[in-house]
A and B are shown apart, each in its own frame.
Chain A
Amino acid sequence: MKKLLEISLGVVTSVGGFLEVGSMATAAQAGAAFGFQLIWAIVLGTICIIFLVEMAGRFAAMSHHTISEGIRERFGFNVFLWPLLVVLLVNFMVLSAEIGGVAIALELATGIGFQWWALPVALLAWLLLWKGTFGFIEKGVSVLGLVTLCFVVGSVMLKPDWTAVAGGAVPSLPAHDAINYWFMASSILGASISPYLFMFYSSGAIEDKWDESHLGANRAIAGLGMTFGGTISIGVLIVAALVLATRGIDQVDDYHQLPLMLIPIFGFWGFVLFVASLAIACFGAALEVGLQQAYLVAQGFGWTWGEDRKPRDDPGFSAVYTASLFLAAIPIVLGLDPLRLTIFSMAVTAASLPLTVVPFLFLLNDERYVGEHRNGIISNAAVIFIIALAFVLAVVTIPLQIFGGT
């Protein structure tokens, strides 16, 4: 029974991880511009992240080390420096975008400009990390995050042609705006396959003191949890396709357009639900990315770390998330458009994937870490596929952004 509860919590936790400003914005843009055609990108991204998350969890449960620790220990500091610096930079942008997402939600709710909300949001996030425990944060955000199910409910209420939806899950070539189509596909993949997600998951496994007995739960949480998040993203896409595209709005490049998705379905409550969904999903993600910055640095250098500890017991760890949160708020305070920043950071994430995904092939086959639970043929095939995909994305994303992105 306890395991069941753990699994359900784990599943719901994907909301703060999988569903955040990046997945919401890219899904909305894709739905408005290409209808159901890009559903396959969300499906593909979800399948990839399921494999990566399961592996990250298995690695942590068996070795009691996180993926970040594994990368340094297995490849040496000189090699580790590259993923370290790149991920710190990418996470910084994503964190900024998440703070921006909460700030936009608050601007929509109150009329006060998003620039004014950036520091208060960073402060609240900091306070929760400073005083809260890992379990409290995990459970709190997860339960509140259930509000995002409104997109799934909304998409069902719109009575889409489900065969057309299923058709969208199969990759197809675009009828128009090819460059834009492929740019959106790569951004969706960057939003789904985020390094902070699987790194945070492996850190979380250590925080929750997982061991070999958790391997089954790990598989369930990875599979169901990421599917849960992916389904909500598809819900956002369907809603955008049926509400915006059908009314001639095929370009989502202004965050003011986003609440319009739910208003025709739920009336004024649609506005409220959207604001709440955006605020909670982004806030949860801000907590996770902020923590992950600290995890990455502390684990990379061997410091004491742990969200359940008092800050004075792990000063290096606490200093990193404190600095990260307030530094990441600055671009938003200065007025950088959060929607633009989001799309850009998703593209950069996609381009940076090889650095964090290649280690999986080595770490998960190393029996000194995972014992007899090394990757099977399917997992290894999946990793190789993801690595190939990562290299393709690394090469095409930035040019696509230059020539086709908004």
Chain B
Amino acid sequence: MELMRDLLDKQVFDRRRVKIGKVDGVVAELRRGKPPRIVAIELGSITLARRLGARPGEWMAQLATRVGGKRHAEPHRIAWKKAQDNGLDIECDIEVGETSIFAWQDWLRDHVIGRIPGA
């Protein structure tokens, strides 16, 4: 399976067809003599920054920690066994509310967007 083509940067949905992000990164286990095995997909700004280089990845991790706390120092991971590739998208058998993927969006809603009348 061509990782680049089939998995990376695809739109990810949760169990309820809510858009939760794109496959920003893939975690694979390297095996001797066999093709790598996909363990999980990763979402989030830290993963994206790492794709640009090691240093941007570090900066983003530091920024995330400073802004959100230690729990945000690692990117969001969804186990591969919970994911299903259906052509153009990836559907995951999770509830986005149970993860911290929307943490920043919730913050934005509660502190900025939600405070403006008519939201």
Contacts and interface: CB of A to CB of B under 8 A. Distances in A.
Interface of A: 63-65, 69, 72-73, 76-78, 80-81, 130-131, 301-305, 310-312, 315-316, 318-319, 322, 368-369
B85 to A, nearest CB: 12
Interface residues of B, number: 28
B97 interface: no
Nearest to A318: B113
Among A72, A312, A322, find the residue whose CB has the most chain B CB atoms closer than 10 A. Answer: A312
Interface string B24-66: 1000000000000000000100001001100000000000000
A72 B22 contact: yes
6 contacts: A72-B22, A77-B9, A77-B24, A77-B48, A304-B18, A311-B116
Given A131-B118, A301-B22, A319-B113, A72 B88 contact: no
The secondary-structure label for the interface of chain B is: mixed
Given A63-B88, A76-B9, A311-B119, A319 B108 contact: yes
A76 B7 CA distance: 10
A80 B22 CA distance: 13
B108 A315 contact: yes
B69 interface: no
Contacts of B105: 303, 315-316
A72 B48 CA distance: 12
B77 interface: no
Contact of A302 (B8, B22, B52): B22
Interface of B: 4, 8-12, 18-22, 24, 43, 48, 51-52, 87-88, 105-106, 108-109, 112-114, 116, 118-119
A130 B118 CA distance: 7
B119 A69 contact: no
A301 B21 contact: yes
A65 B9 CA distance: 13
Nearest to A131: B118
Contact of A312 (B9, B12, B87, B114): B114
Contacts of A301: 21-22
B109 A368 contact: no
A72 B22 CA distance: 9
A301 B48 CA distance: 10
Interchain residue pairs A-B with the least CB separation, the first 4: A302-B22, A302-B21, A315-B108, A315-B109
